[in-house]
Amino acid sequence: MKLLASFLSLTLVAALSAWLWFSQGSNDLEAAGVDLAAATSTQPGSTGGGALEAGSLEAQVQDVPGLTSEHAAAFVGLQAVFDVWQNQPRSVLSDSDQLAGAVQDARSKAETEVAAVQEAAAQQAAEEAAAEQARQEAAAAEERARQEAAAKPAPAPQPPAPQQPAPQPPRQVSPPPVAPGNDCEWDDDEWDCDDDDDDDDDDDDR
């Protein structure tokens, strides 16, 4: 609503300026310009109430707030009206219906341009918000992984693997010596032989 009100007020000012431009003669315009210049100019040494003081204009300029989207829309609308005023012939300016149509077209063009600017700004803001959200999610995931790694107990040291004994070379077993007789056996690294004569002697003693 503020944008529409600003545009309508600027349109009214432009229409009144155009009407004054075509209704007044050159002498009237020159006289009005001289009166306006005399009322707003600062004469050296003058302290009249109508003259602007030295620092008042600068103070007023400093008090103007920063440009907003509403100001930008108002400037676009005013430029569109001026384009219509400069480019349309006198026949269109004298016809109220054609002039209203031209102003409506200019206003539509201005609104389209403002909407495009606002859409681009909204898209840029959405992209920045998405990038910021992705950055925060990545930082949160990294912090969560770091906390999980810190809370996980350290693995117990593994005992050393038992050492395998070195392979022993195969022992060479020497064959037993040749038995001295039929009644001998190899036992405990010696020959154990039965003595038949002793047995016979024992039988004779009995």
Please tell me which residue, 192 or 62, carries the higher pLDDT value.
192
Tally Cβ neighbours within 10 Å of residue 80: 24
- Output phi, psi for 15, to 5 deg: -65, -40
Residue range 144-156, pLDDT digits in tens:
888 888 887 766 6
Please tell me which residue, 114 or 172, carries the higher pLDDT value.
114
Could you tell me if residue 143 is inside a domain?
A: yes
- Output phi, psi for 187, to 5 deg: -140, 125
Could you tell me if residue 60 is inside a domain?
A: no
Could you tell me if residue 28 is inside a domain?
A: yes
Lowest mean pLDDT: which of 22-31, 62-71, 72-81, 92-101?
22-31
Tally Cβ neighbours within 10 Å of residue 113: 16
Please report which residue ranges of the chain form alpha helices under DSSP H. Answer: 2-23, 26-40, 56-62, 69-87, 90-94, 96-151, 196-205
What would the mean pLDDT of 173-193 be, rounded to a whole number? 64
Pairing mode, if any, of strands 184-187 and 190-193? antiparallel
Burial call 12-40: b when 16+ CB within 10 Å, e when fewer: eebbeebeeeeeeeeeeeeeeeeeeeeee
Residue range 127-173, pLDDT digits in tens:
999 999 999 999 999 998 888 888 877 666 777 777 777 777 777 66
Beta bridge partners of 129: none
Please tell me which residue, 158 or 43, carries the higher pLDDT value.
158
User: Collapsing DSSP states into helix, strand and coil, what is residue 124?
Assistant: helix
Could you tell me if residue 125 is inside a domain?
A: yes
Could you tell me if residue 101 is inside a domain?
A: yes
What would the mean pLDDT of 61-90 be, rounded to a whole number? 61
pLDDT at 140: 92
Could you tell me if residue 8 is inside a domain?
A: yes
What would the mean pLDDT of 180-184 be, rounded to a whole number? 61
Could you tell me if residue 16 is inside a domain?
A: yes
**Cβ-contact 105, 39 below 8 angstroms:** no
- Output phi, psi for 184, to 5 deg: -115, 145
What would the mean pLDDT of 62-75 be, rounded to a whole number? 57
Could you tell me if residue 170 is inside a domain?
A: no
Total structural domains within the chain? 1
Domain span at residue 76?
A: 2-40+67-149
